[in-house]
Amino acid sequence: MSRLSPRLAEIVNALPLKPGMRVLEIGGAPGAAARAVCESIAPGGHILVIDRSAKGIGQIERNAAAEISAGLLSARCIAVEEFTLQPDEERFDIAFGVRVGALDGRHPTAGVAARARIHEALQPGGRLYIDGGTPLRVSPLE
């Protein structure tokens, strides 16, 4: 994980990752954390990174081209408060977000919608991790 800042490496290392997991990252541009997550969820795992910025999605697609080609990573341009699973898409085991205004209290109205959408996208018992703990904290979804 040498390509990560020390803070981001600490966050990724704190996630309860295992091979085969499905992970949802919220607001993940430019893709550094997602690429590091791929190392822990392979083989058989997948991370979907969502970001509201088309420019950010472009960065992820460039930076993580190898992981995308390997089927470990995909990216979708959508705001978390509008996110829904696609018809044939499996639910995720965990979700995480770093510096996401809808999750850290900066945008409380968007946060209500975002948590509802994340809850719908997670397996029963799935958890949302956000920065602001030591280094992460579990954020309530309901």
Q: Tens digit of pLDDT for each residue in 87-134?
A: 999 999 999 999 898 888 888 888 899 999 999 999 999 999 999 888
Pairwise CA distance, residues 126 & 142, whole Å: 12
Q: How confident is the model at residue 2 (pLDDT cuts 50, 70, 90)?
A: very low
With residue 46 as reference, give the H or E element that holds it: strand 46-51
- List of residues 6+ apart from 54 with CB closer than 8 A: 77
Q: What is the pLDDT of residues 44-102, one digit of tens each?
A: 999 999 999 999 999 999 999 999 999 999 999 999 999 999 999 999 999 999 989 88
Q: What's the sign of the alpha-carbon dihedral 70, 72, 78, 79?
A: negative
Share of the chain above pLDDT 70, in %: 99
State which CATH number among 3.40.50.11540, 3.40.50.880, 3.30.559.10, 3.40.50.150 fits the domain covering 6-139: 3.40.50.150
Identify the three-state secondary structure at position 71: coil
> How many Å apart are CA 112 and CA 20, to the nearest integer?
30
- What's the pTM value of the predicted model, to 2 decimals? 0.95
Q: Residue 129: beta bridge partners?
A: 96, 138
